[in-house]
Structure 1
Amino acid sequence: MTKFLRLGPAGSEIPAMETADGVVHDLRPLAADIDGSFLESDGLRRARDLAAELPVLEGARELRVGPPIARPGAVLCIGQNYAAHAAESGNAAPTVPILFFKHPNTVVGPFDDIHVPPRAEKIDWEVELGVVIGTRARYLASEADALDHVAGYVVSHDVSERTWQKAESGGQWSKGKIAETFNPLGPALVPADEIDPQALRIWSTVNGEARQDSTTADMVFSVANLVWHLSQYAVLDPGDLLNTGTPEGVAMSGRFPYLAAGDVVELGIEGLGTMRQRVVPAPR
């Protein structure tokens, strides 16, 4: 399996590719970053084809792991896309996809801290399959075309502040979703042709205790359906991130306490890797 990474200090990440033999290659001879331009130009395929010619990135294992895509133009999110999660939220499964947005500066690395804003009291975890758009999806004719526009998949963490989401957003959800660091992403982007997005185990733990454990086969709306559906309303651009919903097992269910400073959340998806974040107060 091939993994695309961005390694190094925040804001100065180096684009990289780990091949199946575990060697990490420097992508800078091919691209300045793993961004929409690189993805749209078939960069993932070109990098794999040229792997033997790319230099090894020395010291890669010691570098910080950043989000595997550069700052996306849009972060689109789907709510209640697992029937059991809709039920624990007190709702029936939706009949059409529920859409909300996150600010691009929510996206941070997979091992970066989650910053709890002032006044926040109900911080919740949500592991999600992230879909990265590779080529522009504009008013697609059919669902059958949708996956051709997907570059790859990644583990995504849709952090939420539930009071802000439910009581302070005027019927919308975004205020509870848009705080800085509220979307850790990574550790790697795996090309779409190496993953079946509807057959992946997806899970999370808090302080080592199990919380979520499900499979993407239980999605109400598949990845293909979501990409096709959203393209009827918006033009999806290369590098955009689509979060596809979370399974049951969140704090909002009432079964678990909300996150507090010092807690550690681990999240993973089969084939895509694992990430880990510590919860800390936001800097003033």
Structure 2
Amino acid sequence: MKLLRYGEPGQERPGLLDSNGRIRDLTDLIGDLSGTALSPESIAHLQSQDVNSLPLVEGNPRLGPCVGKIGKFICIGLNYADHAAETGADIPKEPIIFNKWTSAIVGPNDNVEIPRNSKKTDWEVELGVVIGKGGRYIDEADALEHVAGYCVINDVSEREFQIERGGTWDKGKGCDTFGPIGPWLVTRDEIADPHQLNLWLEVDGKRYQNGNTRTMIFQIPKLVSYLSQFMSLQPGDVISTGTPPGVGLGIKPEPVFLRAGQTMRLGIEGLGEQQQLTVDA
């Protein structure tokens, strides 16, 4: 099942994509795709519905972030062995954790703003994991039971802010519009193995990233269990699981960074595609 949110920013309504690629409205069943609406019980209830009986949404509305009211937007750094190699970093012994502020979240096709004074805005296609069942101290063997589904995330990053300005990575990761999420949340049952998915990203039609989730250093059960040792995970929390090689920072002999007026296009096998225009903030 492909769940989504559609409508103008701040006024999104819940929906799903039917087998013909049309949006069906879920407003009569859930208030939003957030919190307990993402629980196993709620997902099972939605899956039991006759999709063709749900109201059809006409036209081509904007798609919003596929999860609403996100409580925590947790990210994992250097989680692909081949990406760590391109940056010259050692393989982490434990997951590297940082945050994106929820004010960074936008829809999958919304504009991405190049921050004022930015010189090194970069791209990162990532597999997003959406928590459906909360918990603390989750056993790795049970971790996938806590996952509602998966989505595409562009972990847009300003490298000077992140690396050269002191402190933590967060200041270069959480700028407004730096977290496009969607187009839809694909429920866990539709993805046979989240560790065998191709993912890619292009800028102005040039393919920069071309990877597969099989090269993750820490896989999803490990990440969910590990994070739950340090914080409670709650329904609607989103985990961005790291990026494969091909980021602008790693390009040789000279890094390549984004400027206003460019188009990013990215996707993950089975999870859909995003497209963003870069604009000056």
Same fold (TM over 0.5): yes
Instruction: Tell me the SS of whatever aligns to 2:75.
Output: strand
What is the CA distance between 1:268 and its match in structure 2?
Answer: 0.4
Matched, 1:12 2:11: yes
**One-letter identity of the residue aligned with 1:245:** G
Question: TM-score if structure 2 supplies the norm length?
Answer: 0.96
What is the CA distance between 1:112 and its match in structure 2?
Answer: 0.2
Aligned equivalents of 1:169 and 1:29: distance in 2?
Answer: 49
The answer as to whether partners of 2:260 and 2:278 remain within 8 angstroms in 1 is: yes
Aligned to 2:85: 87
Alignment of 1:5-154 (within 5 A): 5-40=4-39, 42-52=41-51, 54-59=53-58, 61-140=59-138, 142-154=139-151
Matched, 1:223 2:220: yes
Mark the CA change 1:162 to 1:52 in structure 2 (over 3 Å): closer, same or farther.
closer
Structural RMSD (CA): 1.3
What is the CA distance between 1:57 and its match in structure 2?
Answer: 2.5
Mean CA deviation greater in 49-58 or 193-202: 49-58
Question: TM-score if structure 1 supplies the norm length?
Answer: 0.95
Mean CA deviation greater in 64-73 or 144-153: 64-73
Matched, 1:254 2:246: no
Q: Structure 1 residue aligned with 2:186, among 185, 190, 193? A: 190
Percentage of matched positions with identical amino acids: 45
Q: Deviation digits for residues 228-259 of structure 1, max 9, x if unmatched?
A: 11111111100000000000001111334100
Aligned equivalents of 1:92 and 1:75: distance in 2?
Answer: 25
Q: Deviation digits for residues 74-120 of structure 1, max 9, x if unmatched?
A: 10000000011111111111111000001011110000000111111
What is the CA distance between 1:22 and its match in structure 2?
Answer: 3.1
Instruction: Tell me the SS of whatever aligns to 1:193.
Output: helix
Aligned to 2:176: 180
Mark the CA change 1:148 to 1:121 in structure 2 (over 3 Å): closer, same or farther.
same
Matched, 1:161 2:181: no
The answer as to whether partners of 2:121 and 2:257 remain within 8 angstroms in 1 is: yes
**How many pairs were matched up?**
278
Instruction: Tell me the SS of whatever aligns to 2:113.
Output: strand
Q: Structure 1 residue aligned with 2:240, among 239, 243, 246? A: 243
Aligned to 1:209: 206
Mean CA deviation greater in 255-264 or 21-30: 21-30
What is the CA distance between 1:23 and its match in structure 2?
Answer: 4.1
What is the CA distance between 1:55 and its match in structure 2?
Answer: 2.3
The answer as to whether partners of 2:16 and 2:26 remain within 8 angstroms in 1 is: yes
The answer as to whether partners of 1:71 and 1:105 remain within 8 angstroms in 2 is: no
Matched, 1:281 2:280: yes
**One-letter identity of the residue aligned with 1:176:** G
* Structure 2: runs of 5+ lacking an equivalent: none
Instruction: Tell me the SS of whatever aligns to 1:62.
Output: coil
